Amino acid sequence: MLDRWDALAIFALDINHMSHGVANKLFLCGKMKSYEIFKIQL
């Protein structure tokens, strides 16, 4: 399971690449909750 900083680093990479690929991978891995948390914090 991803911890807060792993999820944040992945989400930052996703922003830099201007892609939803990582978000989709998080969703497929059942990690959408983490993605949503960081999206809300932006």
- The answer to whether 22 and 10 are in contact (CB under 8 A) is yes
- The answer to whether 2 and 30 are in contact (CB under 8 A) is no
- Which tens digits make up the pLDDT trace of 1-42? 566 777 777 766 666 554 556 666 655 555 556 656 556 554
Which helix (H) or strand (E) segment holds residue 5: the answer is helix 4-16
Question: What pLDDT shows up at residue 4?
Answer: 72
Question: What pLDDT shows up at residue 36?
Answer: 64
**For the whole prediction, is pTM greater than 0.85?**
no
Q: How far apart are the first and last CA of the chain?
A: 22
Question: What pLDDT shows up at residue 40?
Answer: 54
Question: What pLDDT shows up at residue 7?
Answer: 72
CA distances from 3 to 18, 32, 36 (A): 23, 13, 14
